[in-house]
Structure formats: structure tokens, C-alpha cells
Structure 1
Amino acid sequence: MSSAPLTEKTFIARQDDLLKRIAGLGVDCVLAFGFGSALGGGTVSHGALRYLSGWDGHESLSLLAVSGRERLLLVGSPFLQPLAERSYRQTSIAAVPTRDWGAFLKARFGASASFGTVGFGEMPQSIHAGLESALPEAKLLEIDSHVDRMRLRKTREELALHEAGAAICDLLFASLAEEFRSKRRVWEIQLALETRAKLAGADYCKTWLTVAPCADYPRYWPSENANVPSPGDQALFGVALTVSGYWAHGLRMGSVGPARDDHKRLCDLVNDMLDAGAACLETGRPVSSAELEIDRLFQASTQGLAGRDIARFRNGHALGTSYEDPLGTEGFPQHFGPPAFRQAMPSDLRVDPAMVFELHPNLFVRGIGGAVVGDMIVTTAAEPRRLLAFPRGIVEL
């Protein structure tokens, strides 16, 4: 299961589009900084750099420089230079230590150039200080918002990559029962599923798998997943992966043996919340209406659990070259953890066709267990369309 990656021609067109959008700002050159994909969903800058260039520095740092006269990619690791040179025909490649980026840019663009910056919010302080030291007269103008707006609506080629990722998610859901029969530890099951995803065409895959009689929270790591599944356990499974840099994401739940009635009721509730949120993603409606409707149903449906400790996480977010694509994610607060994480950014964004979202209104109820269901939703001029095909009920494992 794979889909053709985007071509350099596509990325050059995006770079040219960005230069046109900022033509009135007096910018001589765009600088886009990014971590590589090794951080997975833990980086925002990688998504912007990947969108503009297609480049993945993996565990290394990179800087794209685009002006009206040249396109240049600085790679912070010499080991990535051969790959970069094979990947591009119209983009110059330079392997430059990050400490020397400022001096390199000064020699290339002049001491008093005006740079439009993307992804600098994640740039390590040591690199930023080096740029300021080498270019004290240069102007740095943040232009992330211009790239964010470009990323909102997906092209047909981008949607094909999301769909290819969704198919791999469905493959992993369908493989759960087989992997559970292996009687291996939970982290070993995760490893097998992540390997299966990469063999099927994913370039990155990270899972969480919580297996316990009362599932308590998303468990990612071997140190918290050393148990072997046992009869009576819940199994809550989340997968996030990329195909050619575009994210796919889904969640499903199962049980080792017959599911308990209270777990079935929780499953029905999260499915109802997901349906309610998806129905709000119609063209012209505020994206935040999906969050409001999910929360309204949550408040109305959990009154019988008064006094219980209920945890849930973000009800949804946008997908693209970032796990939480900007702008489309702002209307969905993070409910998991301390209150400091729960503030949503004000958003007046409205739904347009060809946006991609993940909705996953999930619950963990102390003393009962959890329920997780998550679907990828693509908006259309007619009605929202789901990209995941695997059934959303409790799967007996």
C-alpha cells in the first residue's frame, strides 16, 4: 500500500506561491527551519519544512533558503548530504554545521538582508544566537502564518497520500487479533504492528496500546507495556503514521474475550460524540463547532458518572504534514492533563472543502476503563467523508 510521493516541481510551485504572498513585505529570502521526522508528532517545524520542500532530515536539523534567484537546502549533518543531492535537481545542497549557518547566509545574501522566517519558534537557542551574531544588521520577519494558510486545503495528490495512510491504519486494526494471539508482551505487539506499517509503505509509525482490565491512559513505551494480554483486558489502540510526510491517524478498541457491558456503553458514547462532531464539519460552518458539539454531548451524557475521575484528550485536530496541522487544530483544546494545557487558541476558521481532520473524542473513567475511537475526516462540498473503513465497535481479540 503506497502512493507516489510529490515531485520537486510541486515544492517549487509552493515556494513560488509563498514568495508571491509575501511580495509586499520587503523580504529578500525565505528561511524555513525544521527538525526531522525522528520527533514524530513532537515537532511543528518539520511539517512546514516538509510542506515547502519535501525534505526529511530525520534526526538532523535543516534550513531551506528560497529567494527569487536561488533555492538552497542547508543540511546540518554530512551524512544527509548524499541523500539530499539525490533528491533534488533544482535545489542546491550544502552540508554546513549549524554553528556556521549565520556566516554562510551572510556570505550568500549579504549582511543586511531581510529574511522571512518559518519554523524559527523551534530553533535551538544556540543556532539562533549564531545567526544574530553573524547577521546583526539583518531583519528577521516571522511568516509562519502565510505557510499555515497554504496548508489548509489539500490537493488531490495530498489527499491520495492521506488515503494511503488511512489504508495502512486499517491494515493494523485488522492485524490486532493475529498479533494478540502471539501471546507476546504488549510492547512487542506494538513493535510488530509498527514494523508492519513500514513494510506496507509508511515512512514513520508510532503507536500506543493500553491493555488492562480498566484501561487508564495512552501507554506508548516498553517500560509501561511489559504485560502480556489476559482474558478480561480492554485493548485501546492508537496509531499515527506518515506516508511521504502526510499524516494518517486512527484509534480503535477491543477486548480480550467478551466485552463488559459498561465498556460497550462507553464505546457507544464516544461513537455518538464522534458522529456529532463529524456532522459539524460541513462547508461554511466554524471548525470550532465540532468541538462545541462534542463537548455538549459529553456534558449531557456523563452526568450519571458524577464524582468519577474522567480523563479525555483532544477531541480532534487537523492533519497534514504535521500531526497537528496549524490553524485547523486551534479550535480543539487539549483536555488531557493539567488545566494549563486546556486553553484553545481563538479561531474563526470555517470549513472549506479538502480539509483533513482527525476526530477522537475519547474517555478514561477511573474504576471502569476507557473507550477510544478515532476517524480521519476529509471535508467536501457535499458532506464530510471518512477515510477509515475498519469497524468502530469493540473487536474481540
Structure 2
Amino acid sequence: MTSRWTRAQVAAAEQGVDALIITPGADLRYLTGYEAKPLERLTALVLPSSGDPLLVVPELEVAAAVAANVDIELAAWGETDDPFALVASRLADASRIALDDHMWAERVLALQAALPAATVSLAGDIVRPLRVRKDADEIDALREAAQAIDRVHARMGDWLRPGRTERAVGADIARAIVDEGHVRVDFVIVGSGPNGASPHHEVSDRVIEPGDPVVVDIGGTMPSGYCSDSTRTYVAGGEAPEAFVAAYDVLLAAQTAQREYARPGVTAESVDEVGRQILREAGYADLFIHRTGHGIGLETHEDPYIVDGNAQELEPGMAFSVEPGFYLPGQYGARIEDIVVTTPSGLEVLNATPRDLVTLG
């Protein structure tokens, strides 16, 4: 992890930032390897643009930090100590500090009070460009995550059938996510029939009926900290509505075109437009109500976002989802989602389960 925080130091210095302060979350794990608990007691990485970093930890969390093999000086604070004063003592001469983007507001205010002379900015501008390009080890971790969630989708026929509730199917899926290697279930969406028209529907007590289209969007976190995320749309026995099947064929064409188009040098927004244009020409433009994709890594949603207005060019090592969908309120919905990684010569698709409409049960 040393190379990561040294690169962050260089980037901070280039932007005129004297120090980063990073509290528990994905940025801290990225820079140190330590998955600290987000407790009410302050844990913070103090990373000056020059000099040695310091990890401020509550005394009762020292053993956890040591067990994580954090190769950084630790500064423990006792139950009645002021950890913000401890941070400030390390940054007495700092005139500009950058705080991690997801820091709790009470901590932002406490640090501002402890360092009143310092200008505060967001550390995301420094850390985000580092995290957005995955190295070989990170890509291996994402491959492992994709293979694990693929194994869950491959077992869908064991659970998804008419007569069962979404909640019962979701419980089976959640157990399988852990069984297949994840340490944590992050989300389980089982949207049957009209519930499939809500992209972020989770589960309900609705009984799945024959011929229901069912959107299954699932993901979890692996021991490495890297995340999985994959969506497939199934038919639960019987015959799906003809209009749905016709729309699904267009959706599959759109997602295929996006996967074939995405590569280094094209913009994120152009990937979105390739699929959106196909849906638009078929009359489904108004039913595609979300962006095409999001980055993935130590967080399920991170940069780059594949959406209109994002003119960022894709670069080798960027990992993101390609997941167009359509949603007809009160009737049904569909989504096809793969995690992909840009390579020097094109694109690697990490998920391998069938994308064609599969009938189960």
C-alpha cells in the first residue's frame, strides 16, 4: 500500500494541498489496506504531502490496526483524549488540507475548529484519479468477484419459480452470495412483474406468477474488499408477454453494442449514447430512466460514471458496469448488467452468464 499513499502525496503536492485527512471508508482501505470500523471514535489517516503519514486510532482499535498490517506509524488516543487536537498537532503548519469526500459533518466541523487557519477542500479530487485506474491486482480481485456472483446467477433455477415470494427467493440468493465466497451481501433485488419497473426495488411479499419477467440484480463484497454487481432478467415459467420479449430483444442489442463499442479513448457519455440511441429508435427512450453504468471497485458505485454529460475519456484499467434497462410502470421492467474493464486494446467483460432471456421454473 506504500506506493498508493506515496502517489497520493505527490498528487496532493501538485495541487498545493499540505495534507489529506482520511476517515474510515473505501479511500482509507485503498491507501492503507485497513478496513477500519466507522465508529463514533475518530480513526483518521493523516497524510502530509511531504513526510511520514500517521494513523490516528482509538486505543481500543490499535490491535485491529496492527492485525491489518498497516505499515504506518500509529498514534493511539485514550477515551478522554481529544483526537482532533492530536491531528492538529501533526499539521500545525498546514495552510490547506483536504478531507475525504464522505467524512461525517461533525468531524469536518471539528477539524475546521482544530485547524482554523487552514483552507479545507475535498480529497476526492486527489484520490479519485488514483482509484479510477485499477492495477493488475485490483482487476484480479474484480474478476474473482464477478466469477463468484456469476455462480449465484447460475443457480437461479434452484429458487426462482412461480408460487414463491420475492422475499423467499431473495433470502436464498443472499445465502448463496455468501456461500459462493463473498463476506458481505450488499444488495439483493428481485423485481417480479410490475415490481421490475422499479429499478431499485428490493424484495416484497409479492408471489411470483407464471410468465412474470423478473429482474435479479445482486452483489456483495469479497474478502479482498472488491465488489460484485450483476443483473440478469428471467422469466418465471410460462410465456412472457410478447411486447416484453420484443423490448428485451432491443435491450440486448443495445447492451451488446455498448460492450462492443467501449474502449480506451472513447468518452463515458458516448458509451451511454450508443445504447440509448438503439432504444430511442425502437421507441423505448422514455423507458430507459437511468445512466448506463457506474464504476466499481472497493465501492459498488464509484467513478467513472457512464452517463450523458461525463466527457471523461476511458483509460486502461477503468472498471465499470454496462447496464441499460427499460421500465414500464405497472407492468414490467428489464435490465442487463455486466462489469467490464478497459484494457490497452479494448474491453474485458468480467461476467459470463447468459444475457439472453432465460425461462426458469
Do both share a fold (TM > 0.5)? yes
Match of 2:179 in 1: 199
Q: SS of 2:281's equivalent?
A: helix
Residue 307 of structure 2 corresponds to residue 332 of structure 1:
yes
Decide whether the 8 Å contact of 1:57 with 1:75 is kept in 2.
Answer: no
**1:148 CA drift (Å):** 1.4
**1:107 CA drift (Å):** 2.8
**1:48 CA drift (Å):** 2.4
Residue 263 of structure 2 corresponds to residue 301 of structure 1:
no
The whole-number CA distance in structure 2 between the counterparts of 1:239 and 1:77 is 37
Decide whether the 8 Å contact of 2:219 with 2:227 is kept in 1.
Answer: yes
Decide whether the 8 Å contact of 1:214 with 1:234 is kept in 2.
Answer: no
The whole-number CA distance in structure 2 between the counterparts of 1:220 and 1:58 is 28
- RMSD between aligned residues: 2.8
Correspondence list, 1:309-388, <5 A:
310=287, 312-326=289-303, 328-329=304-305, 331-332=306-307, 344=309, 347-388=310-351
Decide whether the 8 Å contact of 1:259 with 1:394 is kept in 2.
Answer: no
**1:185 CA drift (Å):** 3.2
**1:385 CA drift (Å):** 2.0
Task: Give the counterpart letter for 1:86 in structure 2.
Answer: A
The whole-number CA distance in structure 2 between the counterparts of 1:211 and 1:58 is 36
The whole-number CA distance in structure 1 between the counterparts of 2:277 and 2:80 is 49
String of CA shifts for 1:68-108, please: whole Å, max 9, x gaps. Answer: 44333334694x44322211242234565799332111233
Task: Give the counterpart letter for 1:275 in structure 2.
Answer: T
Task: Give the counterpart letter for 2:227 in structure 1.
Answer: W
Match of 1:339 in 2: none
Gaps of 5+ in 2: none
The whole-number CA distance in structure 2 between the counterparts of 1:392 and 1:62 is 43
Correspondence list, 1:89-108, <5 A:
89-94=70-75, 96=77, 100-108=82-90
The one of 7, 13, 34 equivalent to 1:17 is: 7
Task: Give the counterpart letter for 2:207 in structure 1.
Answer: V
Match of 1:171 in 2: 151
Q: SS of 1:180's equivalent?
A: coil
The whole-number CA distance in structure 2 between the counterparts of 1:74 and 1:182 is 54
The whole-number CA distance in structure 1 between the counterparts of 2:63 and 2:316 is 39
Correspondence list, 1:1-397, <5 A:
11-34=1-24, 46-60=25-39, 62-67=43-48, 68-75=50-57, 78=60, 80-94=61-75, 96=77, 100-110=82-92, 112-114=93-95, 116-119=97-100, 121-180=101-160, 184-205=164-185, 206-212=187-193, 215-218=196-199, 220-221=201-202, 225-243=204-222, 244-260=224-240, 261-302=242-283, 310=287, 312-326=289-303, 328-329=304-305, 331-332=306-307, 344=309, 347-397=310-360
Percent identity over the alignment is 22
TM-score, with structure 2 as normaliser: 0.87
**1:348 CA drift (Å):** 3.1
Match of 1:336 in 2: none
Task: Give the counterpart letter for 1:325 in structure 2.
Answer: E
1:106 and 1:131, CA in 2 relative to 1: closer, same or farther beyond 3 A?
A: same
Decide whether the 8 Å contact of 2:296 with 2:320 is kept in 1.
Answer: yes
Gaps of 5+ in 1: 1-10, 35-45, 334-343
